[in-house]
Chain A
Amino acid sequence: MAPKKLGLKQRYAHMTRGLDWETTYQPMDAVFPYDTFEGIKIKDWSAWEDPFRLTMDSYWKFQAEKERKLYAVLDAFAQNNGQTGVSDGRYINVVKLFLTGVSPLEYQAHRGFAFTGRHLRGAGPRIACQMQSLDELRHLQTQIHTISHYNKFFDGIGEFPHMHDRVWYLSVPKSFFDDARAAGPFEFMIAIGFAFEYLLTNLLFVPFMSGAAYNGDMSTVTFGFSAQSDESRHMTLGIEVIKFLLEQHPDNLPIVQKWVDKWFWRGFRVLGLVAMMMDYMLPKKVMSWKEAWEIYFTEAGGSLFQDLERYGLKVPKYADVATEAAEHISHQNWAVFYQYSHAAAFHTWMPDKEHLDWLSEKYPNTFDKYYRPRWEMWAEMEKEGKRFYNPSLPQLCQVCQIPMAYTEPGDPTKIAFRCTEVAGETYHFCSDGCKDIFDAEPEKYIQSWLPVHQIFQGNCGGATVPDVLNWYRMNVGADNMDYVGSPDDRLWSEWHAAKTREAV
């Protein structure tokens, strides 16, 4: 008689929770020292619904299959000189922004989930976190491999890990994840698992991946597809964690609400980079940031919070402010990079008339009144040979670390200034959202590594802009400045001239 095979469900139970045990040589509290200090109360870890239902052996099998497909496409893309077929040379700057700003976050997520996978005492969440941790490492790896092909031709890509730790605007995504990873495991799960991977993920990945598809970047689209089934598992984990915490004890609600408020706002600030990418950097546009916000936050987020209402959880504080700001942030951010183009590792450009018309159409309430004149003024200056640069360093927000370029809700002509005093020293913020985060945990944010302050303290390679750019490993004259006239632009034009010659 053949030995009986285990059913899927039994097999899963044995291979996951069946491998867990109660420690006896050491008390459980000593083995899991991190899962109580945040104040979260768990009555019954076994009530955790495993969202993935995957065992490690089947996980490896699935992932290996996806890798084989991805690398086949990458090979084909390279052999076919796919880089010459994207919509325009400007598009590559989206890829640069992704690799320098987003891919290192995959690594941070890998580290963060490895930590939570070690330190939550329930076997269910530990297994889920462990797999997500591996996913995130895989995503970093596939992104590096995909984008390394562009590195053979275009500037601003090769030093991405070094830049991520040093360059002024990259401190925005970096500090976002540093903040989450410096928190306890439950806050990390709400910050990254729920707020980032569930609530806001469609505002990050959908724009980048559809942007790639619209602009002929089949390699990036393919790594997007390769990550898609992982992402849907991550979303399942994100929603499970919030439901689990809220079901376990009523005392958890105010703590979770505070984290949801905080990480919604922090995520919204980081996503400003995506807003700018969608409205200004994609040669062929998918939709405006405002439209994406309406679909993925106002509508999808609205029904999510309706669903979570039964636990007492409310829509994040300042969601209304973020929705109002959807009219402004892409224009304000691109303006920052336009005037600090000399210190950015990707190229900027002046939107042309067709592009301005598109923005006027997408932002009928605000663009013509506030932002179109700004571009027209700068275009005029460019024509006179006085391309506008900001010669000084910007004031940064102590929490999000973005230049304090955002305006008062309801008045796009006034910069929003907020401040707090702690132990006789003043700290400045771009918004009530960032100020609230600081005021809740000032000890944490008085330690912020603000790039502008670090430059003035002499910690960034020297006192002049060239010294600092050198310390960033920025290849001046190639990585930075306007696209028009850049080596990228010249290469792209040569490819196209060659294509035209061949066609004749």
Chain B
Amino acid sequence: MSVTAIVPDYARRIEPRDPVENFHGNMLVYVHWEDHLSFCSAVAFPLPPAIPFGAFVSEVVAPAYAAHPEAASIDWSAVVWMIDGATKVPDMEASLAANGMKHKTLVRFWTPGLSGWKGTAS
């Protein structure tokens, strides 16, 4: 469907506000640690598409969740990753882009054995 507008060429007069070009060489990546809802929602990062997935995990994801009491127990090699809806085994050496990530990709991850404070998904 399309917008109800008083001008017939509405779509030509407007610009999307968040194309990747507006992010100074970065792309947006959203990350969510499943079963740990004390982090209220997925979180957002502007990241260079060329950084290796491994660096993304150690420099971006791990620090973002470090405050959680279970963070120290995460076995990063056992983590289950889902990138834009598909379960994947990411190549830690390869870049985010080479792992199929693009602007506004959502990365969800599960940590087997850890399901939130006292198992309550918190």
**A417/B106 in contact, CB under 8 A:** yes
**B38/A452 in contact, CB under 8 A:** no
Residues of the B chain whose Cβ atoms lie less than 8 Å from the Cβ of A395:
30, 32, 41-44, 106
| A391-B38 contact, Cβ under 8 Å, with A373-B117, A426-B104, A441-B1 | no
CB under 8 Å from chain B, chain A span 427-444? 427-428, 439-444
Q: Complex formed: what's the CA distance from A394 to B14 in Å?
A: 26
Q: Complex formed: what's the CA distance from A417 to B105 in Å?
A: 12
Q: Complex formed: what's the CA distance from A445 to B99 in Å?
A: 29
**B46/A456 in contact, CB under 8 A:** yes
Q: Complex formed: what's the CA distance from A339 to B65 in Å?
A: 13
**A447/B15 in contact, CB under 8 A:** yes
**B63/A404 in contact, CB under 8 A:** no
CB under 8 Å from chain B, chain A span 394-446? 394-396, 403-405, 407, 412-415, 417, 419, 422-423, 425-428, 439-444, 446
Question: Which of B3, B14, B34, B116 has the most A CB atoms < 10 Å from its CB?
Answer: B3
B122, CB-defined interface residue at 8 Å: yes
| Distance of B70 from chain A, by nearest CB (Å) | 10
- Identify the stretch in A273-281, A303-311, A345-353, A374-382 within 8 Å (CB) of chain B at 4 or more residues: A374-382
The residue in chain A whose Cβ has the minimal distance to the Cβ of B67 is A388
| A441-B106 contact, Cβ under 8 Å, with A377-B69, A450-B17, A458-B24 | no
Q: Complex formed: what's the CA distance from A401 to B5 in Å?
A: 22
Residues of the A chain whose Cβ atoms lie less than 8 Å from the Cβ of B5:
37, 443
Question: Which of B1, B23, B40, B108 has the most A CB atoms < 10 Å from its CB?
Answer: B40
Residues of the A chain whose Cβ atoms lie less than 8 Å from the Cβ of B30:
395, 428
| Distance of B49 from chain A, by nearest CB (Å) | 14
Provide the B24-54 mask, 1 if CB < 8 A to any CB of A, else 0: 1010101010110111111111100000000
The residue in chain B whose Cβ has the minimal distance to the Cβ of A427 is B104
B77, CB-defined interface residue at 8 Å: no
**A394/B40 in contact, CB under 8 A:** yes
Q: Complex formed: what's the CA distance from A417 to B32 in Å?
A: 11
**A403/B41 in contact, CB under 8 A:** yes
Residues of the A chain whose Cβ atoms lie less than 8 Å from the Cβ of B121:
370, 412-413
**B17/A446 in contact, CB under 8 A:** yes
| Distance of A33 from chain B, by nearest CB (Å) | 7
| Distance of A253 from chain B, by nearest CB (Å) | 16
A251, CB-defined interface residue at 8 Å: no
A85, CB-defined interface residue at 8 Å: no
The residue in chain A whose Cβ has the minimal distance to the Cβ of B32 is A415
Q: Which of B17, B19, B39, B118 contacts A449 (CB 8 A)?
A: B17
Q: Complex formed: what's the CA distance from A37 to B8 in Å?
A: 10
Q: Which of B3, B6, B38 contacts A388 (CB 8 A)?
A: B38
B22, CB-defined interface residue at 8 Å: yes
| Distance of A252 from chain B, by nearest CB (Å) | 14
B59, CB-defined interface residue at 8 Å: no
B11, CB-defined interface residue at 8 Å: yes
| Distance of B22 from chain A, by nearest CB (Å) | 5
Provide the A359-388 mask, 1 if CB < 8 A to any CB of B, else 0: 000000000011001100110010000101
Residues of the A chain whose Cβ atoms lie less than 8 Å from the Cβ of B16:
422-423, 425, 446-447
Q: Complex formed: what's the CA distance from A394 to B37 in Å?
A: 13
| A404-B11 contact, Cβ under 8 Å, with A37-B4, A184-B6, A377-B69 | no
The residue in chain A whose Cβ has the minimal distance to the Cβ of B17 is A447
A84, CB-defined interface residue at 8 Å: no
Q: Which of B17, B32, B40 contacts A339 (CB 8 A)?
A: B40
Residues of the A chain whose Cβ atoms lie less than 8 Å from the Cβ of B23:
456-457
Residues of the B chain whose Cβ atoms lie less than 8 Å from the Cβ of A412:
121
CB under 8 Å from chain B, chain A span 29-43? 33-34, 37-39
| Distance of B78 from chain A, by nearest CB (Å) | 20
| Distance of B31 from chain A, by nearest CB (Å) | 8
Provide the B83-104 mask, 1 if CB < 8 A to any CB of A, else 0: 0100000000000000000111
A486, CB-defined interface residue at 8 Å: no
Q: Complex formed: what's the CA distance from A395 to B42 in Å?
A: 5
Q: Which of B22, B37, B67 contacts A391 (CB 8 A)?
A: B67
Residues of the B chain whose Cβ atoms lie less than 8 Å from the Cβ of A453:
17-18, 28, 44
Q: Can you list 28 A-B pairs, Cβ within 8 angstroms, ordered by A?
A: A37-B5, A38-B4, A39-B4, A339-B39, A369-B120, A370-B122, A374-B38, A377-B38, A377-B117, A388-B67, A390-B67, A392-B43, A392-B64, A396-B44, A407-B37, A415-B32, A415-B41, A419-B106, A428-B104, A443-B2, A443-B3, A447-B17, A449-B17, A452-B44, A456-B23, A456-B46, A457-B23, A458-B24
Task: Given contacts A339-B39, A413-B116, A457-B22, list 11 more A-B pairs with CB under 8 A.
Answer: A391-B64, A395-B32, A414-B34, A415-B37, A417-B32, A417-B42, A428-B106, A443-B2, A443-B5, A447-B15, A458-B24
A residues adjacent to B (C-beta < 8 A): 33-34, 37-39, 183-184, 187, 332, 335-336, 339, 369-370, 373-374, 377-378, 381, 386, 388-396, 403-405, 407, 412-415, 417, 419, 422-423, 425-428, 439-444, 446-450, 452-453, 456-458
The 8 closest A-B pairs by CB, nearest first: A392-B43, A413-B121, A373-B120, A395-B42, A446-B16, A374-B122, A441-B3, A443-B3
